[in-house]
Amino acid sequence: MVALLVCLVVILGVVIALAYAERKVAAFIQDRLGPTEVGPYGMFQAIIDVVKLLQKEDIIPTVADKNLFRLAPIIIFAAVLAGFAVVPVSPDLIASGAEVGIFFLLSIVSLDVIGLLMAGWGSNNKYAVLGAMRSVGQIVSYEIPAGLAILSAIMICQSLNLQEISFQQGILLNQFAGLENEKNYLFGLKALQIDVTQVGGITTWNIVRMPFLMVSFIVYYIASLAECNRAPFDIPEAESELVAGFHVEYSGFRFAALFLAEYTMMVLVCLVATILFLGSWNTPLPNLGPLKLATWTTSTPGTIVANLWGFFWLMSKVSILLLSQIWLRWTYPRMRVDQLMQLCWKILIPVSLGMVLLAGIWRLLMI
Amino acid sequence: MENNTVNIESKNSFWASVSSLWSGLMLSLRHIRKATKRRNQAYISDKDYFAQKEGLVTLKYPYEAIPVPDNGRYRLHNEIDDCIVCDLCAKICPVNCIEIESIKATEEIGITSDGTKKRLYAPKFDIDLAKCCYCGLCTTVCPTDCLTMTKVYDFPEVDIKNMIYHFTDLTPEQAREKQLLFEQQQAAKKK
């Protein structure tokens, strides 16, 4: 229950901050100032925007399929929000410690596609239908490389539980029930005989435990961009071609829900990337001899300090990923549909299949 | 003939793509880094207008503004003391935004600053700036140069009626009085 409340508040806070960051970073890249009027440096612009949207009239087109149209934003937002249930925010805080964690997350987030299709079809607008079709085609395609990249990380961790995966990537490894006798070796190679269980920090992150997971991480990162319809894969929304894609007919509260869902999705995919590849809520600082950096920046689990540290490290990593997503969006031009599909089916899927094979072999070297 | 084709060397290798993607990212990062600076707001005739290559370009308009050039054509102003109510401006106006009524004076009512004699009162001299197209024709035909275009360009109104500018110096009562005087004079002449 605490985790749910923390999650809701944090998600809304992060999403609002992200919407503001998006506008500011975009402005700076394009030599503009961005919002400056509302609050210091225009900080409250995003909040004001949401308040404004909530006050607006809820327009439902006369020829729209009203039930689908009304329901779609709720389904999209609910699907994305449900994904947070299995995401750990600190060593002790997780809404649901489900054993099938990441599997649940992938499947519930896939419901998003149905919402998008409902929104596009229900609007009875050609741009909306085109946007929804593109979006669904894109998300369904990119779930394969994303899923395979996640699979390679899971094969290394031998668990679907995101909290267990988090514990594996730091000095608290032995504190998780069932992992008491586990050991972390440098690069995961038992043959090297360098025990880094108590060194922690970056040396126990998944991308170091199995260095080739860096490739999986990049594949997942690219696929996740496509899954949340971000540039350079924003063809479902392509302003210059489709006005706004599937949400062109939406206004007021429903538009706000779609808008927030999009940014929430960004946060969610970055959280998953962080948890699976970048050490989750674990500190990046290793214990070096007498300098117990990892221990100092982790604290004893169960205390408030430990939870704050965990939350701090998780959010720092997520923020960096989110900023990089914004940075990419305002640098790269949009891809064509055929280029998008070529990247997915001809490059990312073969690479991620290779990574699954490699992860399997690596896992054999780890035990 | 061999010069008619242009060969753009295509670099499709993996590392060429990666380096091109990377240089794109670095380009936008450079702009973020220089976002602390702002460009000096200069008019295009300024010498270093093209010399400033970095920094934010945004002009925070209500707080800052670049100067209007000397030949800038914005809000109309009529110096009614110099106006001889000749109606030329109203006639040439392509959008009919100037409305003038005149009353003949019983005697000479004064001279304008350039020495022209004034013989007409203007009980109505309205310019509807909501209609005005800022062509400046009225100012060129004005014989006494009393109608000019000023540098004021920021004059929005909530009520569009306020966009009609009244330049007359007569109150309706005064206008009626002048009209009456003129009619009396005409009646006296007829006798």
In this prediction, residues B18-40 reach a mean pLDDT of 86
CA A57 – CA A63 distance, rounded (Å): 18
C-alpha A183, offset from chain centre:
28
Structure confidence by residue, pLDDT tens digits, B71-125: 888 888 888 888 888 888 999 999 999 999 888 888 878 888 888 888 888 888 8
Query: Which among A92, A15, A44, A49 has a CA at the least distance from the CA of A252?
Result: A49
In this prediction, residues B150-162 reach a mean pLDDT of 88
Contacts of A28 in chain B (CB under 8 A): 31-32, 35, 56
In this prediction, residues A350-367 reach a mean pLDDT of 88
Q: What is the pLDDT of residue B7?
A: 58
**pLDDT exceeds 60 at position B1:** no
**pLDDT exceeds 70 at position A296:** yes
In this prediction, residues B46-72 reach a mean pLDDT of 81
Contact map slice: B 2-21 vs A, CB within 8 A: 21
Residue of A nearest to B31 (CA): A29
In this prediction, residues A248-259 reach a mean pLDDT of 85
CATH topology of domain B75-178: Alpha-Beta Plaits (3.30.70)
Contacts of A332 in chain B (CB under 8 A): 21, 24
Highest mean pLDDT out of A254-268, A298-312, B106-120: A254-268
**A331 and B25 in contact by Cβ < 8 A?**
yes
| Chain A to chain B Cβ contacts (< 8 Å) | 38
Residue of A nearest to B33 (CA): A28
Contacts of A30 in chain B (CB under 8 A): 31
Structure confidence by residue, pLDDT tens digits, A107-141: 888 888 888 888 888 888 888 888 888 888 888 88
Contacts of B27 in chain A (CB under 8 A): 331
Contacts of A31 in chain B (CB under 8 A): 31, 35, 54-58
In this prediction, residues B25-40 reach a mean pLDDT of 85
**pLDDT exceeds 80 at position A98:** no
Q: What is the pLDDT of residue A283?
A: 83
DSSP symbols for B119-142: -EEEEEEEEETTT-----HHHHH-
Q: What is the pLDDT of residue B5?
A: 62
| Domain-wise residue ranges, chain B | 15-67, 75-178
In this prediction, residues A144-161 reach a mean pLDDT of 89
**pLDDT exceeds 80 at position A88:** yes
In this prediction, residues A69-85 reach a mean pLDDT of 88
**CA-based nearest distance A32→chain B, Å:** 5
Are A330 and A25 spatial neighbours (Cβ–Cβ below 8 Å)? Answer: yes
Q: What is the pLDDT of residue A85?
A: 84
pLDDT band for position A353 (50/70/90)?
A: very high
Q: What is the pLDDT of residue A221?
A: 92
Residue of A nearest to B30 (CA): A29
Q: What is the pLDDT of residue A66?
A: 84
Q: What is the pLDDT of residue B10?
A: 62
Q: What is the pLDDT of residue B94?
A: 92
Q: What is the pTM assigned to this prediction?
A: 0.81
pLDDT band for position A297 (50/70/90)?
A: confident
Contacts of B58 in chain A (CB under 8 A): 27, 31-33
**B21 and A332 in contact by Cβ < 8 A?**
yes
Any CB–CB contact under 8 A between B26 and chain A?
no
Compute CA distances B86 → B121, B130, B142, B178, B185, whole Å.
10, 23, 8, 18, 22
C-alpha A99, offset from chain centre:
19
Residue appearing with tokens 């596009």: A120
In this prediction, residues B2-11 reach a mean pLDDT of 60
Mean pLDDT, chain A, whole residue set:
84
